[in-house]
Structure 1
């Protein structure tokens, strides 16, 4: 599946603010433990606005924990995290300040998490109305544009249970973009899909990456997708970035044996 590039650009431009190429996300000496297990070990890591960064590495290397920290679904044990110049951790300004910082972040989960009792259109509209205070008519226009962008304009009145898994995930992408996030987090978004549905979702994300300036931070085992859309590919192992570079370097000429070993197992 492929969407109209002009439509993609117009719809997404209404969904996220312009970028300036400056640093958007920073992790400074961040450590996260679960019991005796050190998941992130003094991590220093940053993402510039407008860049597409794909985190690769073995399971349990800390990649998804980064996304969970950015969504404040968990908290670091040590270190500092900032998003768009606003401090996320340590918490500075209480829950109200955290909500303001979180508004800049959209997350697409492995599971679609659509509201089953709401039609597709309302699933996409609900958060902009309730969280951003957007008028319903404006939210509806934006939602319909985004559903058109992901190829589901004709399913706006359907309930999620009437959609395939791939269609539900595309609705979830539209829902995340409807909040005008500065950064879109993608957490193994195809891992719960049947193999024949994966390509359609990845095509939508490729069109967004190629046609818009939205910042993307992606965790995936789809290495061809990572190669296609990324500006930077950090390789994670044992809670640290052990190597990072543009995709042509990481996938073709990695410096470390550990990176070559991992890629040899997944490519």
Structure 2
């Protein structure tokens, strides 16, 4: 009989090629509270995996661990075959140094709940700044890429505006373009519409649907927008108290969930 970890891993990465992200026995505590409890799961290259569950169930902590905003207390995180939090020295696995972490983190992009744009930079420079200074792209190459991405998110006419001159939905679309400009292998989306006025949510979700359908980027998504999760996901993982209680295709999870906790949660959000 397969273990729960085997089941969840298969749901997130089956029928694919390379494994891109792997959590192995990852535990994270804040004080006396265990937020993630010996978590095992993986995401395959090019797949879209959505994490759902009640607030406090550990979903956003997974994204924060991948961005190295927090560190695991136990376990190993691997991205594209490279350990994120550890490296091998003299045949031993030791905590990773900052240089190693920076190199692995280049493979990861994240769009946060709040846009975090540079307020003193216009839209174009917001998108080109990191590719020039972190990836070492030339200004011309970065600008060409930025213009393509800004067009992709529907903001070509806003290149010369500052963030304060844009709506919340427009700012979030700039944040999406900025994350994609770093050419990440996996893009993390953390409740990207939760800070928006309701009338602006649909436009941002439409942009993300287009990206999911028109690119081969891997997505790891935390959202309470269940219709969006159903539309773009290859696999959905249901979290509760730091553990995956159920996983499967969106059709299975949303139409015929097996676990009582999943049914309870979906009854409150659908």
TM-score normalized by the length of structure 2: 0.91
In structure 1, the residue matched to 2:69 is 73
Alignment pair present for 1:64 and 2:60? yes
In structure 1, the residue matched to 2:78 is 82
In structure 2, the residue matched to 1:111 is 114
Q: 1:92-241 maps to which residues of 2 (within 5 A)?
A: 93-241=96-244
What's the CA shift for 1:93?
A: 4.7
C-alpha separation between the residues in 2 aligned to 1:138 and 1:30?
A: 39
8 Å CA contact retained: 2:84, 2:96: no
8 Å CA contact retained: 2:86, 2:96: no
In structure 1, the residue matched to 2:26 is 30
**1:1-31 deviation digits (Å, cap 9, x = unpaired):** xxxxxxxxxxxxxxxxxxx831000000000
C-alpha separation between the residues in 2 aligned to 1:213 and 1:138?
A: 21
C-alpha separation between the residues in 2 aligned to 1:30 and 1:79?
A: 4
Residues matched between the structures, number: 248
Name structure 1 gaps, 5 residues minimum.
1-19
**1:139-189 deviation digits (Å, cap 9, x = unpaired):** 000000000000001100100100000000000000000000000000000
C-alpha separation between the residues in 2 aligned to 1:235 and 1:31?
A: 17
C-alpha separation between the residues in 2 aligned to 1:163 and 1:21?
A: 40
8 Å CA contact retained: 2:190, 2:221: yes
Name structure 2 gaps, 5 residues minimum.
1-15, 88-94
C-alpha separation between the residues in 1 aligned to 2:66 and 2:163?
A: 27
Higher RCO (C-alpha 8 Å, min separation 6): 1
**1:77-136 deviation digits (Å, cap 9, x = unpaired):** 000100010101235551111000000000000000000000000000000000000000
C-alpha separation between the residues in 2 aligned to 1:80 and 1:117?
A: 38
What's the CA shift for 1:212?
A: 1.1
The runs of 4+ residues in structure 1 deviating greater than 2 Å are 90-93
In structure 1, the residue matched to 2:6 is none
TM-score normalized by the length of structure 1: 0.92
In structure 2, the residue matched to 1:14 is none
